[in-house]
Amino acid sequence: MAMTDAMTGAVGVASELKVIAFDVFGTVVDWYGGIAAEVERTLPGIEGGAFALAWRAGYQPAMRSVMERIAAGEGGFTLIDELHLGILEGVLRDFGVTHLDPVQKRELNRAWHRLPAWPDAAEGLARLKTKYTICTLSNGNIGLLTDMAKHAGLPWDCILSAEVFKAYKPDPRTYLGVAAVFDVSPGQVMLAAAHHDDLAAARGCGLKTGYIERPLEFGPARTKDVSPRPGNTLHARDIGALADLLGC
Amino acid sequence: MAMTDAMTGAVGVASELKVIAFDVFGTVVDWYGGIAAEVERTLPGIEGGAFALAWRAGYQPAMRSVMERIAAGEGGFTLIDELHLGILEGVLRDFGVTHLDPVQKRELNRAWHRLPAWPDAAEGLARLKTKYTICTLSNGNIGLLTDMAKHAGLPWDCILSAEVFKAYKPDPRTYLGVAAVFDVSPGQVMLAAAHHDDLAAARGCGLKTGYIERPLEFGPARTKDVSPRPGNTLHARDIGALADLLGC
């Protein structure tokens, strides 16, 4: 097979790289499909996709207020499990669901622990693991990410999380924290993610970046622009394609 | 097979338990054998076993001074890699080794990342993993434990470490931290270790305890008392035997 320019570039990247840290929600697992299915199973009559989008839409504002409270010295580190549960209360109200008791709400909230992996993820990660250290770098808490890995068969070498660094992405302490944990330079770490803002923040810290297309992240009804952007080190259709590019 | 009293007790434990956290050095990996072999390979003429014992003997005093400095507000959290390197300087001096440059010392220090697992460890852990969440709980740093797991094929669900909790064993924050990470009660967590002091501290926090015999932890020349003590929930010859007791 003839080497393309992208592949020639990837050979250089592959030799320097030591660690690949993965964003998780949307990049490795399908939160839209997983939440939609669980909602339709447990709340008959509710449109699962719309519920999933509403729940996820609450995440950014909730995370922003946590960060503002921390910055103002008024709050501490909050686990995503708690954040998700707080958002869920509002979404249930908006969808007119009033019959769930606290135990049922907590059980539904654990749907985030059981999200299905994208079909290419487990095998692609296993290939990358033969050559690199592969870890999570997610704002999700350690327990959530561990349950998810067991459930979906994700073969992480290590679970890293905002909970380890006591700072949330896009705080530089998270990206630089990965390099520090493994005693390598930022340029020996790649963040792989389906979100350009996350990748841009990692790039600002000197990490390499791999964009993973996930055109169905927000479900079949919402279009996502997955075209390549020049700032990223690599661009891959999925995690298997990333393994191809890196010669695994 | 007739049920023994120990087995009947284990059935009750098995049903409540969710997470097994393992001490690592001595319990899962053979630091004596690993360090001795690496020293004999890289420092011809030096008696590897004696060197390994001296290096390990420096650990408790070094850790104690780190903890005292932290308690006095004079020091921060220190990675075991740094601690090992500091101790190594003294041991090299004591053994009359003067020719290593800083790069060679760092490379030798990484022997702790490459320690061999006890022969039963990888398979025993894989069996336990089918039923429980299995993680490390070590004062070793995350990078060291991750390298070790890759090298020795240890199938951890999650790497937990003093580095995550910013406190060292036997600080209660480490044992209770495991329960908090996985959102379970202390009684749903078992610490498995080859050291009674570690197990006693975990028991004081409400964890269950599993003693793992490792009669050769300090090499063939030094006797280790591995007889059962009544305080522990379970007593197992090795990790495979722990899996037997827990019905995995």
Domain locations in chain A as residue ranges: 5-30+117-245, 32-114
Q: Do A183 and B146 touch (CB under 8 A)?
A: no
Q: Does A226 touch chain B (CB under 8 A)?
A: no
In chain B, % helix, strand, coil (3-state, to 5) comes to: 50, 10, 35
- Measured distance CA(A173)–CA(A165) in Å, rounded: 7
Tell me the ipTM for this assembly: 0.93
pLDDT-derived band at B2 (thresholds 50, 70, 90) equals very low
- Measured distance CA(B4)–CA(B6) in Å, rounded: 5
> CA geometry: angle at B187 spanning B183 and B189, to 5°?
65
φ, ψ for residue B187, nearest 5 deg: -70, -10
pLDDT (0 to 100) of residue B236: 98
Q: Does A149 touch chain B (CB under 8 A)?
A: yes
pLDDT (0 to 100) of residue A2: 44
pLDDT (0 to 100) of residue A1: 41
Please give the structure tokens belonging to residue A247. 């010669």
Instruction: Write the DSSP string, A126-192.
Output: HHHHTTSEEEEEESS-HHHHHHHHHHHT---SEEEEHHHHTS-TTSHHHHHHHHHHTT--GGGEEEE
DSSP H/E element including A35? helix A31-42
For residue A110, the chain B residue with the least C-alpha distance is B183
- Measured distance CA(B138)–CA(B214) in Å, rounded: 17
Q: Does A141 touch chain B (CB under 8 A)?
A: yes
Q: What's chain A's average pLDDT?
A: 94
Which single residue is written with the structure tokens 């398979």?
B123
Q: Give the count of beta carbons closer than 10 Å to the beta carbon of residue A94.
A: 12
For residue B6, pLDDT over 70 is answered with no
pLDDT-derived band at B24 (thresholds 50, 70, 90) equals very high
- Neighbouring-strand partners of residue B25: B29
Q: Does B126 touch chain A (CB under 8 A)?
A: no
Mean pLDDT of A201-211: 98
Mean pLDDT of B35-64: 96
Mean pLDDT of B155-161: 98
Tens of pLDDT, residue by residue over B214-231, are: 999 999 999 999 999 999
- Neighbouring-strand partners of residue B20: B134, B190
Going from the C-alpha of A12 to that of each of A55, A186, B10, B148, the distances in angstroms are: 41, 16, 54, 27
- Helical ranges in B43-131 per DSSP H: 48-57, 59-71, 80-94, 102-109, 121-129
Terminal-residue alpha carbon distance, chain A: 16
Chain B residues lying within 8 Å of A135, measured CB to CB: 146
- Eight-state DSSP code of residue B202: H
Closest partner residue to B159 (CB to CB) among A129, A147, A158 is A158
Please give the structure tokens belonging to residue B101. 């440059």
For residue B134, the chain A residue with the least C-alpha distance is A146
Instruction: Write the DSSP string, A48-78.
Output: HHHHHHHHHHTHHHHHHHHHHHHHTTS----
Tens of pLDDT, residue by residue over B172-231, are: 999 999 999 999 999 999 999 999 999 999 999 999 999 999 999 999 999 999 999 999
Which residue type does B161 have? S
Q: Do A163 and B181 touch (CB under 8 A)?
A: yes
Q: Do B183 and A143 touch (CB under 8 A)?
A: yes
Q: Do B133 and A141 touch (CB under 8 A)?
A: no
- Eight-state DSSP code of residue A212: E
Please give the structure tokens belonging to residue A207. 């990490």
Q: Do B81 and A158 touch (CB under 8 A)?
A: no
Mean pLDDT of B24-31: 98
Q: Does B110 touch chain A (CB under 8 A)?
A: no
Please give the structure tokens belonging to residue B178. 């495991």
Indicate the SS3 state at residue B99. coil
Nearest to A233 by CA among A1, A17, A4: A17
Smallest Cα distance from B157 to chain A, Å: 6
pLDDT-derived band at B97 (thresholds 50, 70, 90) equals very high
pLDDT (0 to 100) of residue A168: 94
Tens of pLDDT, residue by residue over A7-42, are: 556 778 888 999 999 999 999 999 999 999 999 999
Chain B residues lying within 8 Å of A163, measured CB to CB: 164, 181
Mean pLDDT of A105-114: 97
DSSP H/E element including B134? strand B133-138
Residue pair B204/B169 in contact (Cβ under 8 Å)? The answer is: no
Chain A residues lying within 8 Å of B149, measured CB to CB: 157-158
Smallest Cα distance from B125 to chain A, Å: 14
Mutate to test the interface with B, among A103, A178, A183, A184 (most CBs of B within 10 A): A183
Tallying the residues shown for chain B, one arrives at 248
Please give the order of strands across the beta sheet that includes B133-138: B158-161, B133-138, B19-22, B189-193, B208-212, B234-236
Smallest Cα distance from A129 to chain B, Å: 9
Chain A residues lying within 8 Å of B142, measured CB to CB: 158, 160, 164, 181
Classify B159 in phi/psi space as left (phi over 0), alpha (psi -120 to 50) or beta: beta
- Measured distance CA(B75)–CA(B68) in Å, rounded: 9
**What homologous superfamily is domain A32-114 in, according to CATH?**
Putative phosphatase; domain 2 (1.10.150.240)
Q: Does A154 touch chain B (CB under 8 A)?
A: no
- Measured distance CA(A146)–CA(A156) in Å, rounded: 9
Q: What's chain B's average pLDDT?
A: 94
For residue B182, the chain A residue with the least C-alpha distance is A143
For residue B110, the chain A residue with the least C-alpha distance is A183
The hierarchical CATH code for the domain A5-30+117-245 is: 3.40.50.1000
Q: Does A213 touch chain B (CB under 8 A)?
A: no
Q: What are the residues whose beta carbons fall under 8 Å from the beta carbon of A234, sequence distance 6 or more?
A: A6, A9, A10, A13, A190, A208, A209, A210, A211, A242, A245, A246
pLDDT (0 to 100) of residue B77: 86
